Amino acid sequence: MALSAKWLCFAFAIIFGICWAGASEEPCYGNVGDTEVYAPFGSWALFNCTHNCTKADWESRLIKRNKIDGPGWVSVEVGVGVTDKEWKASEIACTVLSRGEAVDNFVTVIPYEIPRLVTLDMEDMLEEGKSYIITCTVHGVAPIQNLRVTMLRGKELIYNKTFKDDLTRKADNITEAVTYQITAERSDNMEDFSCQATLALGTVIGNVTVPSSNVTVRTFELPDISFTVSNDSVLLGDSITASCLLNNNNSDPYGVTIRLNGEEICKDPAMDCNVPVNRRSPQSLVSCEAFIKDNTDITVRREKSLTVHYPPATPNITAVPTATIPKGGALNVTCWADGLPQPEYRWVIPNGASVVYMNNNSVIFIPEASTSHSGNYTCHAVNQHGESPVALVITVTDYTLVIILCVVGFLFLIIIIIAIVCLMLWKKNRRGFYDLFKPKQEKRQEEEMTPMKTQCNSH
């Protein structure tokens, strides 16, 4: 019995040694906490790894600094987009040695940027029943897959958009515009519309929301008007009656103005408006403008065109080339007057003058002027509303007598000149011929002859 007890104790000792040896070979481990960490782009992120191993270290392609080893832990700072400016997610691993093998504990490092600005673009005056586009713009956000854009009317959610399934987007800070169409309703009046961008940044940071400014909208119903005029044609100086009626159930928010050619004639007429027409023009424009009193930029306009009749004005009469022409010349005399209906033209011309009427009698053509064409030419512009005359004096000059007198005068002058020449020659022949160029020589000869005469007399 004593021998059996001894062998039993020995067996227990062997089993205990084996168990102890096995316990000493149990694997060690490392713990990095969250496996996804969001870090602001351009910053340094601190990571810590706890372990029960003899050796642990941080491994990553990212730039590292300030590595510290402690009892059962190791920490390091990692640069996120500090030097390479890269927005892609990267991995960092806490590597521990377990049973002689390296075991990696990975952490995914995701750069992010909170939107620097969120803006809402929409009109603040909405016509009821009309569609409008709302645009919410998120300026500078990353990663886009973590973004959610929400549009609100007051506190009511009207639209929501996420980008988590948009995996084709470039990893970068992005300016994203989200649009949504609404149909304006009366209940939208005085509501605050806004939008907000929410960036989901994991369990540690959580959700970061950046709101836009509010846009307070006002809704309106366009003025509904009926516009009529008593006549569509009028004689200059007469008047027409214009009527502009609001058909809206509540007419208090609206104002009404009736204009003639842009000039205000009646404002908020309780009854029909008397519109005098005093401008000499073939067409005039009568209009009714209905507008919202609080915002006159919102206007509904109805127009009616008026045909204005008027008698002819004093005609304009011209002669081409001039009103004074030589005999045998050609002449055009044109008469024109402003009037509606277009005037007809009637002429009073000198008796015996033969002319050609052209362009509905507005032009007189004289192909070859004679003295019978000289005199007064009176043009009468006539329509159903009146008549207006104008006169022009045409002078035809005959230069035949002048030419004859000039020729006779010229011949008479020639005759006088010839008579003077003949008279001078006659006088010269009567006195003899004298050489005017040798007067001194003849005088000298007379002096030489004088002594000889004296000598002869002395003998």
Determine the pLDDT at residue 269: 82
- Residues 361, 348: Cα–Cα separation, whole Å: 12
208 near 277, Cβ under 8 Å? no
To the nearest 10°, report the CA torsion of 409, 415, 420, 423. Answer: -150
243 near 227, Cβ under 8 Å? yes
> In 3D, which of 251, 267, 262 has the Cα closest to residue 287?
262
Determine the pLDDT at residue 25: 53
Q: Does CATH place domain 30-112 in 3.40.50.1100?
A: no
User: Domain-by-domain residue ranges, the chain?
Assistant: 30-112, 117-220, 225-308, 316-397, 405-430
- Residues 325, 391: Cα–Cα separation, whole Å: 17
Determine the pLDDT at residue 147: 93
Determine the pLDDT at residue 453: 45
CATH class of 225-308: mainly beta
Determine the pLDDT at residue 171: 65
Q: What string of H, E and C letters represents the secondary structure of the chain? A: CHHHHHHHHHHHHHHHHHHHHHHHCCCCCEECCCCEEEEECCEEEEEEEEECCCCEEEEECCCEEEEEEECCEEEEEEEECCCCCCCCCEEEEEEEEECCEEEEEEEEEEEEECCCEEEEECCCEEECCCEEEEEEEEEEEECHHHEEEEEEECCEEEEEEECCCCCCCCCCCEEEEEEEEEECCHHHCCCEEEEEEEEEEHHHHEEEEEECCCEECEEECCCCEEEEECCCEEECCCEEEEEEEECCCCCCCEEEEEEECCEEEEECCCCCEEEECCCCCCEEEEEEEEEECCEEEEEEEEEEEEEEEECCCCCEEEEECCCEEECCCCEEEEEECCCECCCEEEEECCCCCCCEEECCCCEEEECCCCHHHCEEEEEEEEECCEEEEEEEEEEEECCHHHHHHHHHHHHHHHHHHHHHHHHHHHHHHHHCCCCCCCHHHHHHHHHHHHHHHHHHHHC
Radius of gyration of the chain (CA): 60
Determine the pLDDT at residue 431: 56
The CATH number corresponding to 316-397 among 2.60.40.10, 2.40.110.10, 3.30.230.10, 1.20.120.1200 equals 2.60.40.10
- Residues 89, 225: Cα–Cα separation, whole Å: 63
The token pair at 190 is 């005085």
178 near 166, Cβ under 8 Å? no
117-220 and 316-397 have identical folds: yes
Beta bridge partners of 240: 275
- Residues 246, 151: Cα–Cα separation, whole Å: 37
Determine the pLDDT at residue 11: 43
291 near 299, Cβ under 8 Å? yes
Determine the pLDDT at residue 17: 39
> What length is written for the chain?
459
Residue pLDDT tens, the chain, 459 long: 443 444 444 444 444 433 333 444 568 889 999 999 999 998 999 999 999 988 899 998 889 999 999 999 999 999 998 877 778 888 999 999 887 788 899 999 999 999 999 999 999 999 999 999 999 999 999 998 899 999 999 999 999 999 887 666 666 778 999 999 999 999 999 999 999 999 999 888 899 999 999 999 999 999 999 999 999 999 999 999 999 999 998 888 999 999 999 999 999 887 899 999 999 999 999 999 999 988 888 899 999 999 999 999 999 999 999 999 999 999 999 999 999 999 999 999 999 999 999 999 999 999 999 989 999 999 999 999 999 999 999 999 987 777 788 888 888 899 898 888 888 888 777 655 445 444 555 544 445 545 544 444 444
CATH class of 117-220: mainly beta
- C-beta contacts of 5-11 below 8 A and 24+ residues apart: none
Beta bridge partners of 267: 257
> In 3D, which of 201, 145, 140, 146 has the Cα closest to residue 176?
140
